[in-house]
Amino acid sequence: MSEEARKKIESLTLAPNATKAGVRDYVRQVLKTAAGQSIFCSIGPQVGKLKAVGPDNVDVLLEFYSSYEGLPAGHIYVHQAWEALVDARHKKLVIEHLPSNSSLIQLVEREGWTDDAREILIAELRSKPENLPFEWVEAIAELPGIDIAPSVAEAWRRAKREPFAKLSVAKAAVEFGHLDALEALVDSIDDPQGTSMFMEARGTILRRIGFYGSNEQIRTWFAENKDKLVFNPNSKKFEVREKESV
């Protein structure tokens, strides 16, 4: 970051007793300083400036985070700021923002607000299951008295046609015994850039099969055993079972 840019950030101040409109304008000004940056740091000076809005203005930060205004340039800064400020008083606010920003499910789980968000979690799973992160399905699965298997099956049926959502939903579908979801993960196990999505795919595969090896060995193992794999709902693993001779 240039010295000029740093001075620009340091010059930004939030007026005492600023109105919500004033806070929004201040946040926009902070985010503008991130425009053109190619490297972002979770402890960048913008984070401190955004945290200056205080707990009473977490709603404004969530507005920006959910609407993606001024993002993705300052996405990490907004995230770090509201995460540092949020507490129990913001539970209702965070839950209300879940439909517009599903990544908030991680915060909901961490704070133990899953049961409070029950209605929204279930409604979103039924209406747009293919667009939800794996953590969303995990959160619902922990709620008592809810059978989400049909919703996961529908999510997987839709996600097969959506390359962007396919891997994320496949991770959930594997948990419910969908062999073609396991196949999708195996087919995608290699990624030249080593992104986290593909690393998670490998981790999911290894948790659900009784085999460990390199990516190439896993692909070979799957090809050799695909027709003999049976899902065990108790262990949540695919097991190799030889077909009985007639």
β-strand partners of 230: 239
pLDDT of residue 164: 67
Q: How far apart are the first and last CA of the chain?
A: 72
Backbone angles phi, psi at 82, to 5 degrees: -70, -30
pLDDT of residue 27: 92
Boundaries of every domain in the chain: 1-86, 114-246
Q: Would you give per-residue pLDDT tens digits along the chain (246 residues)?
A: 566 767 888 888 998 889 999 999 999 998 888 766 555 555 678 889 999 999 999 999 998 887 765 555 567 888 889 999 999 999 999 999 998 888 899 899 999 999 999 999 988 887 877 677 778 877 887 788 888 888 888 888 888 877 767 887 888 889 889 999 999 999 988 765 445 555 678 888 999 998 999 999 999 999 999 999 999 999 989 999 876 544
pLDDT digits (tens, 9 = 90+) for 216-235: 999 999 999 999 999 999 99
Q: Give residue 125's Cα distance to chain centre.
A: 14
In 3D space, the residue among 103, 33, 22 whose CA is nearest the CA of residue 62 turns out to be: 103
pLDDT of residue 193: 46
pLDDT of residue 2: 62
H helices within the chain, ranges in order? 3-11, 20-32, 45-51, 58-67, 75-85, 91-97, 105-111, 118-127, 134-141, 149-159, 163-175, 179-187, 196-208, 215-225
C-alpha to C-alpha distances, 82 to 5, 19, 23, 90, 178, nearest whole angstrom: 23, 18, 14, 10, 37
pLDDT digits (tens, 9 = 90+) for 23-69: 999 999 988 887 665 555 556 788 899 999 999 999 999 988 877 65
Cα 98 to Cα 109: distance, rounded to the nearest angstrom: 12
pLDDT of residue 194: 46
